[in-house]
Amino acid sequence: MTDNFTPVANILKEYEYDPSKLIPILQKVQDVYRYLPEDVMRYIADELEISPAKVFGVATFFAHFAITPKGKHIIKVCNGTACHVKGSSFLINTVKDKLKLKEGQDTTEDMLFTLECVSCLGACGLAPVMVIDDVVHGQVTPAKAVELLDAVIKQEAQYVK
Amino acid sequence: MEKEQFVTIEGKRVPIEGEKNLLELIRKAHFNIVTFCYHPELAAYGACRLCLVEVEGMGIVASCTVPPKDGMKVRVNSDEIRKLRRINLELLLSSGNHDCTLCSKSNNCKLQKLAKDLDVTEIRFKSKKLDSHKDATSPALVRDHSKCILCGNCVRICNEVQGIGAIDFAFRGFRSKIATAFNKELGQSHECVSCGQCARVCPTGALMPNSSEIEEVFKAINNPAKKVAVHIAPAVRVGLGEIFGLPQGQNVDGKIAAALRMLGFDYVYDTAFAADLTILEEATEFLERFKKGTNLPQFTSCCPAWVNYVEKFAPEFIPNLSTARSPMQMMGPVLKADFEERGGKREDLVVVAVMPCSAKKSEAKRGEFYVDGNPDTDYVVTTVGLARMIKEAGIDFVNLENEWFDMPFGTKTGAGVIFGASGGVMEAALRYAVAELDPGNARSVKFTSLREPKVFKEKTVTIGDVKIRTAVVSGLKNARKLLDDIKAGKDHYDFIEVMSCQGGCVAGAGQPQFDGWTPRKVRAEGLYQEDTELAYKSQDNSGVTALYGRILDKIGGPVAHKLLHTHYKSKKFRVGEDKVK
Amino acid sequence: MSNKTIEQIAKEYNAAYKKITGRVVICGGTGCIAGGSLKIYEAFQKEMEKRKIGFCLQITKDCHENYLSMSGCRGFCAQGPLVSVGDVFYTKVKEEDVPEIVEKTLLKGEVIDRLLYHNPANNQKAKTVAEIPFYSKQERILLHDCGRINPEDINEYIAHGGYAQAKRAYTQMTDEEVCKEMIASGLRGRGGGGFPTGKKWDLTRIEPGPKKYVICNADEGDPGAFMDRSVMEGNPNAVLEGMMIAARAIGADEGYVYVRMEYPLAIARIRKAIEQAEKLGLLGKDIFGSGKDFKINVMEGAGAFVCGEETALIASVEGKRGMPKIKPPFPSQCGLFGKPTVINNVETLATVPKVLEMGSEKFRKIGTLGSPGTKTFAVTGHIANTGLVEVPMGTTLRQVIDDVAGGTTNDDGTVNKEAFKAAQIGGPSGGCLTREHLDLPLDFDSLKSAGAMVGSGGLVVMNDKTCMVNVARFFLEFTQRESCGKCVPCREGTEQMLTMLNDIVEGRATLKTLENLEDLAKAVQKSSLCALGKTAPNPVLSTLKHFKDEYLAHVVEKRCPAGVCKALARFEIVADKCKGCGMCKRACPVQAISGTVGKPHQIDPKKCIKCGGCKATCKFGAVIVGA
């Protein structure tokens, strides 16, 4: 449960409680909470006077909305054509394997990583591309991917100590 | 004069007579193309692609969305179209669990019908989505996603006609499903009012009224320690026959009474009796409010989905709801009180209601309707559920001789019977009121306008210098509009009848499936026909009068209040108001 | 609001610009930024500050000495980050190169040989853009200003003649005249279908107002296409001007730019351009004193490819699930919020001011009779010069691939024109072109007759080591994932097609599977509700047509001729070639490789996850994929 809806109320006000602005509202709300908590979606539905099932329908239609919390580090592997042709599916398998993600699972149990296979990021010249927390890495081989992930894991381990 | 316009369908010239789309014209030409997502009461959706036809010059189009134009040449059964129709059907059959022998919807399922019509004996594609998870958490409805073909009829009727949006599409693509808010079980939905209109328009067995109580009813009948009373709602008698091949709308109350006895019920009663009782209480309540000018307009409260709606979405109108219980919830306590008066124990009488409705199932489960853990109505069976019981028992329904209901709770007036049609409750109430206010001219008022097949009707009754302004509305979105207009001060009425199903109880979710207005009209006519053969107004029900003498004392009195009235509370669900600083 | 006219703005800008002695432009397209061009931009500032060299970051009347700016995408992404100093054009620039560039090139006018583009065709270094075939073989009309001007300074756009056509449309032309001029130009929509733009506008113009909308479809979702992104990043004002002219033509007073949120830079640049245009009074009330208003909103997509379909796009602007609606009614009659609406894509709208500037007659002379003008293509895949190219419609595939983009490459990146196997054009909705199509003119009609489409203009070049079944599977997996789920053939059909393709690439299929796949693909094509479903089977159908033998190899022989399909592949080390260097062992993420240094290594097939890392690492070609 979310304890404070003030940021949501402010966002709703900014969009003048206009139900046609549902998508930008959800985008801004997700920026605040990093996902769309259920009670927040219900609150938005009440305030916009639309059904919560509709809000849920929109939130689950678009790939960028998350209805479950995401991990601390977001790993994006581009699966656009250029990256695919240059082996991004190998890269995805390696990352999944490294993070021990099962079929259909995209966030690690320890909530440290979320893997997203994204469509073209437009950095085709650098294919295959992997993005860790908004830093773009180009021409990533499976070995380099493991190296990059290990660096983050190491850093996290130090953080815990 | 304008030239007549024609479309040529498979070489046959068919005149255009205001049809909205090519599909309607094709059906008028007696090509009965089976489709799933096209429903005449809903907006065209264009998703099932089974109405595809070839139009010369346009190629392959979905006929449900193309406006007919003069000179069009249409093929509905070209090789190409036959091929596409079959592939699309096979795709639907490959996705989900479509084992017809294990489905309650069998024989009444459009998907099954089309598969039979096309004689599909093999599916080229791999089976997908076989996991059947039945959501039976709602007392009113059962969902089975593995039978859902995502035609969206349920979503559209819940939004477009009922204005609620309890369900919507969720997720995307192959993972799409129909979901309540946050994918909860239906029983946990804060929005669903149990009206069941979604089930009425579902072409498959994905959404159906909950029929789990049938087993319990059989058990009660076979339990020697229990007496079992059953009563049937007005709409049931004009709905059941068509399941057994009798003409739509034919009143089969005599056969029903016979069948119920053959099933083993101890007492066979008519809910119309309790409808008369409802009128006495509700109309009296109205006349009191009308005289005082308080809590007007008064709203009827016999439709349980409407009551749910007010509690969940318009609690500010709770004071306007009549406190009189619905006929079903009057019948239960009266039967049990009568049973007790005759020396029985309340829990030894099992009361079964046969209703055209899914919401009645949730109504019977309301906490207010229990006394020491024992419900006023033990079980609710739908019209279709009763047909199933009759079939299971092997009863040859069509050839049964007519029988009478048991007395004293089988007496009724025409006023009680017409409850099953939209406008009927208001007409019955006004018959009572007119006779009370102007006993000499009890039959002077004609109610033609209230009998029209419309979703909104008005009637102002003038008795001397008294004017009673009434309205009748059916369909919850229409009701919402009326509430908004009342709030905005645009409309002024004294008494309003609301039925959540368009056309009233004859169109309930527990009735045999249908679409369009003709079935509603035909069923309602069956009730108005019976009305002509019975006493005119509820005051004239001798059984009811006797009951007041014996148990209830006086209309609106303390005993009547205890047994025949109820109360409501806001169930509006809101989050977060306390979380905003 | 400024009370200056655009003519005054241009005059003042040009006067100030004349005082500049040197100009450094750093490519700020997404590709170059990913390569570090922002750091290069900062390094230039630091270096010039350190050396006390005068410079400015924006042209104002106080400018002198040098002007340092970022530009939009220059299209030569494979060679990025790109920096130009005056006419000198540097490629693959690193942060560390900056002091040297300032020292030698900016101050002394010397050219640094190492940073010049090396043309493998003639083995020479190219000093300027004009000497690089990638640029010299193009005809850059739309992209003319991309990479030249500062996209974040509206004044420079104005100084280059920007907004003059919008002004003309608002002050000297009637709505009908604008539509007529567009019809006469023959400009066709660059977003896929190729519907004549002028006709679309005219249909919307005649619908009753007063409320109408213009939508710029910038939801460029095809994997491997980035034309629209580059235009928005490189010349956002051209898009806005196109929208203004469209609004004038149909009588709209409000517009939306619908951009996918994967394009943060494009969004930022468009927003900035709108803000600047509003400040100058180019957008807002009473535009150019015409009494007409126009306001532009930006909406960010939320991740749904299907929203590139116009009715789905409209639904999502209205706050709904992006599910396409049945047509008719068309958006021109009943579009956004039920009002008449014109939807054009970025490239189309950005071309509009050029059409008016040139005049329809001159515009028609470019390209072919049926497809006038130029077209931009995003060329990716096994190609020497990954990037963005603009050529006249009707240029042949061979010219684009070999002359402009430098030719097909082998897996190791070396150019080998003979390695060309196929090109997928039009993204997941398009079809594949083969060697026999190399001399096919690329225009709407020729491509259609070849079973492909221009689409948005993605062009993926594939070499002979590519498995065409896998390519078809890749595209289908994409459309299947992006299907909205509304209509049966697309929702269920693409899923079943994908299942069949998986069976094929994983060795479970029979000849019956191939037959069913083709039947189903045709049915999905014919019976789907919207363009996504109707075109989803194209990659499958066109590979089935041109590369049936590859399908048969997978199905009958259970063999992937290209050695790509993992389930049919087995990674092996050829003992003769293995030097025992251990590179592959280190590269293997699952420790499937064993062996001692100097001795041939082995791969344990049970542990191997077939990631291909060993093969990519081996310098001796010792790792092979057995069929």
Residues A53 and A90 in one domain: no
**How many domains is chain A partitioned into structurally?**
2
Report yes or no on A68 lying in a domain.
no
Decide if C300 and A119 are in contact by the 8 Å CB cutoff: no
Give the C-alpha distances (Å, rounded to integers) separating B267 from B89, B221, B332, B344, C407: 48, 11, 13, 14, 91
CATH 1.10.287.1040 fits C154-360, yes or no: no
Reported as type and span, the H/E element at residue B299 is strand B298-299
Whether the CB of A20 is below 8 Å from some CB of chain B: the reply is: no
CATH pick for B1-125 out of 1.10.10.60, 3.10.20.740, 3.40.50.720, 3.20.20.70: 3.10.20.740
Structure tokens at B413: 């007036």
Which residues of chain B lie closer than 8 angstroms to A60, CB-CB?
170-172, 179
Interval B244-250 mean pLDDT: 97
| Residue from the list B46, B124, B128 with its beta carbon closest to the beta carbon of C516 | B124
Mutation target vs B (from C526, C530, C532; most B CBs, 10 A cutoff): C526
What distance in Å separates the CA atoms of residue B350 and residue B356, rounded to the nearest whole number?
20
Do B123 and C492 contact (CB within 8 A), yes or no? no
Q: Under DSSP, is residue C318 helix (H, G, I), strand (E, B) or coil?
A: coil
Which residues of chain C lie closer than 8 angstroms to A27, CB-CB?
261, 300, 302
With 90 as the cut, is the pLDDT of residue C193 above it? no
What distance in Å separates the CA atoms of residue B343 and residue B337, rounded to the nearest whole number?
10
What distance in Å separates the CA atoms of residue C309 and residue C484, rounded to the nearest whole number?
11
Do B285 and B246 contact (CB within 8 A), yes or no? no
- Mean pLDDT, rounded, of chain C: 92
Whether the CB of A61 is below 8 Å from some CB of chain B: the reply is: yes
Do B229 and B265 contact (CB within 8 A), yes or no? yes
Positions of B marked active-site? 282, 285, 302, 322, 360, 363, 368, 505
Q: Say which range, A147-156, C216-225, C297-306, C338-347, has the weakest mean pLDDT.
A: C216-225
Decide if C528 and B49 are in contact by the 8 Å CB cutoff: yes
Percent of chain C having pLDDT more than 70? 99
Q: Say which range, B276-285, C332-341, C594-603, has the weakest mean pLDDT.
A: C594-603
Closest chain C residue to B127 measured between Cα atoms?
C496
| Predicted confidence band of residue B148 (pLDDT cuts 50, 70, 90) | very high
In this prediction, residue C376 carries a pLDDT of 94
With 80 as the cut, is the pLDDT of residue A123 above it? no
Name the minimum distance, in Å, from the CA of C147 to any CA of chain B.
39
Which residues of chain C lie closer than 8 angstroms to B47, CB-CB?
486-488, 529
In this prediction, residue A122 carries a pLDDT of 67
In this prediction, residue C1 carries a pLDDT of 47
- Look up residue A49 and give its amino acid: E
- B contact set with C (CB within 8 A): 44-50, 52, 60, 62, 65-67, 80, 83-84, 87-88, 91-92, 94-95, 124-126, 128, 149-150, 152, 169, 171-176
Closest chain A residue to C613 measured between Cα atoms?
A142
Higher model confidence: residue B275 or residue A118? B275
Which residues of chain C lie closer than 8 angstroms to A130, CB-CB?
none
Name the minimum distance, in Å, from the CA of C12 to any CA of chain B.
51
What subunits make at least 3 CB pairs under 8 angstroms with A?
B, C
CATH 3.90.120.10 fits B214-288+301-418+506-564, yes or no: no
Residues A56 and A104 in one domain: no
In this prediction, residue B271 carries a pLDDT of 98
Decide if A51 and B168 are in contact by the 8 Å CB cutoff: yes
- The alpha-helical segments, DSSP class H, found in C225-359 are 227-234, 236-250, 264-279, 310-317, 346-358
- C contact set with B (CB within 8 A): 304, 321, 323, 325-326, 328, 480-489, 491-496, 499, 516, 519-520, 523, 526-529
In this prediction, residue B491 carries a pLDDT of 86
Residues A57 and A77 in one domain: no
In this prediction, residue A1 carries a pLDDT of 62
Which residues of chain B lie closer than 8 angstroms to C506, CB-CB?
none
| Predicted confidence band of residue B2 (pLDDT cuts 50, 70, 90) | low
In this prediction, residue A81 carries a pLDDT of 73
pLDDT digits (tens, 9 = 90+) for B440-486: 988 989 999 999 999 999 999 998 889 999 999 999 999 999 999 99
Report yes or no on A1 lying in a domain.
no
Name the minimum distance, in Å, from the CA of B122 to any CA of chain C.
13
pLDDT digits (tens, 9 = 90+) for A75-84: 999 887 778 7
Interval B272-295 mean pLDDT: 97
Is the alpha carbon torsion for C82, C85, C88, C93 positive or negative? negative
pLDDT digits (tens, 9 = 90+) for C552-567: 999 999 889 888 887 8
- Enter the CATH code of domain B135-207: 3.30.70.20
Task: List phi, psi (to 5°) of B461.
Answer: -105, 125
pTM attached to this predicted model: 0.92
Sequence-distant (6+) residues with CB within 8 A of C464 are C419, C420, C421, C562
DSSP for B173-190, please give it.
GGG-EEEEGGG--GGG-S
Q: Where are the domains positioned within chain C?
A: 12-136, 154-360, 376-466, 469-556, 569-626
Reported as type and span, the H/E element at residue C205 is helix C197-205
Residues A87 and A49 in one domain: no
- Enter the CATH code of domain C569-626: 3.30.70.20
With 90 as the cut, is the pLDDT of residue C511 above it? yes
Which residues of chain A lie closer than 8 angstroms to B181, CB-CB?
41-42, 45, 51-53, 55-56
Interval A27-43 mean pLDDT: 94
Q: Which CATH architecture has domain C12-136?
A: 3-Layer(aba) Sandwich (3.40)
Interval B495-515 mean pLDDT: 97
Residue A108 domain boundaries:
73-160
Fold of the domain built from segment(s) C376-466: Ubiquitin-like (UB roll) (3.10.20)
Rg (CA), chain C: 26
How far the first Cα of chain B sits from its last, in Å, is 69
| Residue from the list A9, A42, A53 with its beta carbon closest to the beta carbon of B580 | A9
With 80 as the cut, is the pLDDT of residue A149 above it? yes
Interval C98-110 mean pLDDT: 94
Which residues of chain B lie closer than 8 angstroms to C307, CB-CB?
none
